[in-house]
């Protein structure tokens, strides 16, 4: 066998091994982050209302204010991180060093202080603010890291798919173990609050190990055009990116709508299950089935995004979600062993939206660089995360008021039939409406796979 052929074969194997390491290393970081994210989106408001005993409106306010602060701090952290220069990379040091404080603050978030009234509300709000700040310090650089790992639009879709696989593995761990572990600890003589706190400690250890592995297994590439094209923090740079990057403007609107759609499913889901406790399976069974469906959707939607493109992948998933929503609204929940089939369909389609979004955001960086000559990673990722979290905050607040408005009472053993119906109607209508609007916006966004490939080629040789 010719030596040249063996050399090419060896080089190809090394490149493939490096790619797999990059994909796995980046993906495992989102496993850790989603232990935190889904504990908040699926459990935190429920914990405030059912375990701590807060009025649902107050629980919604804590969730909303914490997430809104998270959103406000995102652009600042994004620009600080983008301006960092160290031998370990631009973003990777934040992931490693910030992961320890993030784990500690997560435990604090699920601590029920021996307080009442306004003092209790203030303590819980302070804990939420501390956690959200710690989360921003890690999650923003982690998200921006994808723009430095590869410049291929196709590989970014793969990267996003692997990332979402690990993310939904984190979600599955939360849905499968958080409630059972908390109950098991409670049955050994602890209170419900102590059960949640100790479970949060276990989750924090697992997440910290995952984020440390992400730091160890990834390496950053120098950006196209050089680091001198990256602007530092200023309100002017953010406004300029918003004004001059039309793809970013449309993407931000997609993020606002999609984040609201996701929160409209995730936050009320545990309450929906609780309101139908007579006919539904246990909370962790339904949440785990939802997570498994999402996880199963990752390879399917990744292949669709690779073959048909990101936009068509999004449209198809929206159609699937719409069919499930119409089914739920018209006929009510269709149960298999106590699990609503419509929620399973929601979970399966949900994987598509995450894959497409996290593949499009770094593409918008090069789009802006091509149009006006500056690589605004901080502005693009910071504003994207701001839009995502601000929308989630407002939706969380709306859900808190919705629960009170439809008569949800945490002190009641069994909720009224009308409360259960109203929750089901909200979950059927709100997410579908928002996703259809997001699809229309995405259709108007002037960024495609072919255009991005041409942009990368010109920037690489320019």
The pLDDT assigned to 64 comes to: 80
Task: For residues 103 and 34, give the distance between their C-alpha atoms in angstroms, rounded to a whole number.
Answer: 12
DSSP label at residue 110: T
Q: Is the pLDDT of residue 235 over 70?
A: no
For the segment 29-42, what is each residue's pLDDT rounded down to a tens digit? 999 999 998 898 77
How does pLDDT run across 272-282, given as a tens digit for each residue? Answer: 888 888 899 98
Higher pLDDT, 133 or 229: 133
Q: Give the CA distances from residue 154 to residues 231, 341, 453, in Å, rounded to whole numbers and listed in that order.
A: 27, 32, 9
Percent of the chain with pLDDT over 90: 38
Lowest pLDDT segment from 107-111, 335-339, 366-370? 366-370
Task: Report residue 362's pLDDT band, with 50, 70 and 90 as the boundaries.
Answer: confident
More confident residue, 448 or 350: 350
The pLDDT tens digits for 108-134 are 999 988 888 889 999 999 999 999 999
Structural contact between residues 95 and 145, judged by C-beta atoms closer than 8 angstroms: yes
What confidence tier does 356 reach under pLDDT thresholds 50, 70, 90? very high
Which pLDDT score is estimated for 251? 92
Does the pTM exceed 0.75?
yes
Those residues whose C-beta lies under 8 Å from the C-beta of residue 234, and which sit 6 or more positions away, are 79
Is the pLDDT at 226 greater than 50? The verdict is yes
- For the cut 80, the answer to whether the pLDDT of residue 291 exceeds it is yes
* pLDDT, tens only, 426-455: 999 999 999 999 999 999 998 888 888 888
Q: Is 395:259 a contact under the CB 8 Å cutoff?
A: yes
Provide the pLDDT for residue 6: 44
Nearest CA to 376 among 219, 221, 240?
240
User: Of 26-40, 59-73, 138-152, 162-176, where does mean pLDDT reach its minimum?
Assistant: 59-73
Distance (Å, rounded) from C-alpha 287 to C-alpha 206? 20
**Looking at residue 7, what is its pLDDT?**
47
Determine the pLDDT at residue 460.
Answer: 76
The mean pLDDT value for 372-380 works out to 80
Q: Would you say residue 361 has pLDDT above 70?
A: yes
Please state, in angstroms and rounded to a whole number, the distance separating the CA atoms of residues 22 and 160.
Answer: 12
pLDDT at position 256 is 93
User: Of the ranges 63-67, 123-127, 421-425, which one carries the lowest mean pLDDT score?
Assistant: 63-67
Structural domains in the chain plus CATH codes: 24-461 (1.20.1250.20)
- Element holding 312 (H helix, E strand): helix 310-331
Is residue 154 over pLDDT 80? Answer: no
pLDDT at 5: 45
| pLDDT of res. 56 | 80
* Distance, CA of 307 to CA of 161 (rounded, Å): 13
Greater confidence (270 vs 98) lies with: 98
Q: What is the pLDDT of residue 234?
A: 58
Q: CA separation (Å) from 50 to 46, 47, 65, 310, 412? A: 6, 5, 20, 40, 10
Mean per-residue pLDDT, 159-169: 86
Average pLDDT, the chain: 86
Which residue would you say has higher pLDDT here, 345 or 378?
A: 345
Q: Residue 225: what pLDDT?
A: 62
For residues 318 and 337, what is the distance between their CA atoms, to the nearest angstrom? 26
Instruction: Over range 4-25, report the average pLDDT.
Output: 65
When pLDDT is cut at 50, 70 and 90, the band that residue 420 belongs to is confident
For 185-194, 343-352, 385-394, 440-449, which range has the lowest pLDDT when averaged over its residues?
185-194
Mean pLDDT of 92-99: 94
121-152: b (≥16 Cβ within 10 Å) or e: bebbbebbbbbbbbbbbbbbbbbbbbbbbbbe
For residues 67-83, average pLDDT: 80
Q: What is the mean pLDDT of residues 140-168?
A: 84
pLDDT tens digit sequence for 315-331: 999 999 999 999 999 99
* pLDDT for residue 263 is more than 80: yes
Mean pLDDT for 175-204 is 86
**Can you read off the two tokens belonging to residue 236?**
């002017």
Average confidence (pLDDT) over 135-161: 85
């Amino acid at each position: 066998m010719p030596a040249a052929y063996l050399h090419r074969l060896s080089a190809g194997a090394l490149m493939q091994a490096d790619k797999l390491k990059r994909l796995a290393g980046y993906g495992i970081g989102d496993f850790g982050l989603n232990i935190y994210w889904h504990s908040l989106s699926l459990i935190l408001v429920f914990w405030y209302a059912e375990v701590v005993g807060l009025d649902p409106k107050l629980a919604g306010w804590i969730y909303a204010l914490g997430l809104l602060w998270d959103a406000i701090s995102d652009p600042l952290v994004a620009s600080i991180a983008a301006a960092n220069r160290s031998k370990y990379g631009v973003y990777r040091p934040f992931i490693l060093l910030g992961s320890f404080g993030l784990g500690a603050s997560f435990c604090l978030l699920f601590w029920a202080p021996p307080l009442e009234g306004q003092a209790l509300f203030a303590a819980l709000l302070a804990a939420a603010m501390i956690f959200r700040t710690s989360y921003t310090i890690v999650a923003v650089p982690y998200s921006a890291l994808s723009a430095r790992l590869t410049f291929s639009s196709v590989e970014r879709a793969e990267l996003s798919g692997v990332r979402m696989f690990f993310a939904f593995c984190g979600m599955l761990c939360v849905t499968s173990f958080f409630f059972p572990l908390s109950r098991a600890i409670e049955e050994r003589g602890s209170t419900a609050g102590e059960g949640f706190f100790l479970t949060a400690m276990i989750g924090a250890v697992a997440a910290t190990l995952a984020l440390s592995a992400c730091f160890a297994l990834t390496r950053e590439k120098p950006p196209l055009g050089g680091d001198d094209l990256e602007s530092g923090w200023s309100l002017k740079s953010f406004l300029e990116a918003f004004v001059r990057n039309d793809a970013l403007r449309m993407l931000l609107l997609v993020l606002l709508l999609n984040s609201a759609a996701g929160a409209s499913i995730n936050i009320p889901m545990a309450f929906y299950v609780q309101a139908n406790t007579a006919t539904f399976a246990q909370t962790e069974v339904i949440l785990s089935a939802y997570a498994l469906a999402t996880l199963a959707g990752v390879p399917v939607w990744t292949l669709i995004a690779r073959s048909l493109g990101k936009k068509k992948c999004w449209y198809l998933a929206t159609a699937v979600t719409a069919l499930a929503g119409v089914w739920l609204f018209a006929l009510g929940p269709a149960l298999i062993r106590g699990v609503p089939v419509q929620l399973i369909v929601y979970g399966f389609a949900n994987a598509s939206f995450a894959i497409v979004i996290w593949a499009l955001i770094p593409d918008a960086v090069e789009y802006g660089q091509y149009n006006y000559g500056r690589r605004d990673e901080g502005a693009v990722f910071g504003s994207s995360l701001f839009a995502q979290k601000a929308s989630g905050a407002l939706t969380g607040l709306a859900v808190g008021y919705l629960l009170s408005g439809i008569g949800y009472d945490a002190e009641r053993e069994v909720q009224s039939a009308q409360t259960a119906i109203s929750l089901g109607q909200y979950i059927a209508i709100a997410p579908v409406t928002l996703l259809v609007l997001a699809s229309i916006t995405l259709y108007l966004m002037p960024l495609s796979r072919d255009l991005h490939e041409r942009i990368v080629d010109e920037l690489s040789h320019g």
